């Protein structure tokens, strides 16, 4: 099965981490939680979940993953202040493998400089930031631009999680 990195910062949107995390694991995939400090427990902004960071981005080569998922909430804003996390996203994007972000997750994509010339969606308050960074913004539950996939909010989680799972079922390109 596939190895998925979920990039999680303190104050993440509980459901945007928990629901995909559970769906990926139920499908038999390995999910690795990356954050700023390994061993630290981070809490969701709604207080409904918490998770221990397994590894830092600096400790894990991006090439080791088959997909990267960035939940929203306040976490992405905190993660984009960590140079190793930003570098991880930039390097991972260059692999051409599936990269997915929901809600405020695209804030980390903006910081990594990987949105210019691409089409994305996000929570409405991130729209102007994406446009200013050179992206086209659409108000849709799911926007796919090559192997970059974005969704807007918790209401989009079913289609978001399913799309990631479908990506992982596609045969690798030769």
Q: What phi, psi does 140 have (nearest 5°)?
A: -140, 155
How is domain 3-169 classified at the CATH fold level?
A: Rossmann fold (3.40.50)
Task: Report residue 133 as tokens.
Answer: 């960074």
Answer yes or no: is pLDDT of 174 > 50: no
40 Cα distance to chain centroid: 19
Q: What phi, psi does 6 have (nearest 5°)?
A: -110, 125
CB 166 within 8 A of CB 102: no
Q: Which of 103, 115, 120, 143 is catalytic?
A: 103
Q: What ranges do the domains of the chain cover?
A: 3-169
Calpha distance 20→134 (Å, rounded): 28
Q: By percentage, how much of the chain surpasses pLDDT 70?
A: 98
pTM: 0.96
Q: Name the average pLDDT for the chain.
A: 96
Q: What is the pLDDT of residue 85?
A: 97
The predicted-structure confidence for 85-125, as pLDDT tens digits, reads as follows 999 999 999 999 999 999 999 999 999 999 999 999 999 99
Tell me the mean pLDDT in the region 23-40: 97
| Residue 43: its H or E element | strand 41-43
> Is 150 tagged catalytic?
no
């Amino acid at each position: 099965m596939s190895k998925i990195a979920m990039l999680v910062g303190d104050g993440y949107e509980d459901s945007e981490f928990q629901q995909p995390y559970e769906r990926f694991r139920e499908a038999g995939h390995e999910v690795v939680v990356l954050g700023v400090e390994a061993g630290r427990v981070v809490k969701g902004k709604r207080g409904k979940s918490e998770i221990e960071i397994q590894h830092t981005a600096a400790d894990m080569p991006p090439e080791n993953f088959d997909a990267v998922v960035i939940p929203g909430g306040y976490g992405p804003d905190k993660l984009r202040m960590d140079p190793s996390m930003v570098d991880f996203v930039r390097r991972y994007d260059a692999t051409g493998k599936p990269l997915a972000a929901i809600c405020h997750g695209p804030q980390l994509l903006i910081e990594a400089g990987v949105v210019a010339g691409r089409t994305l969606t996000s929570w409405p308050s991130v729209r102007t930031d994406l446009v200013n960074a050179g992206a086209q913004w659409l108000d849709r539950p799911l926007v796919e631009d090559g192997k970059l996939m974005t969704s807007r909010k918790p209401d989009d989680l079913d289609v978001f999680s399913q799309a990631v799972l479908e990506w992982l079922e596609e045969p690798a390109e030769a």
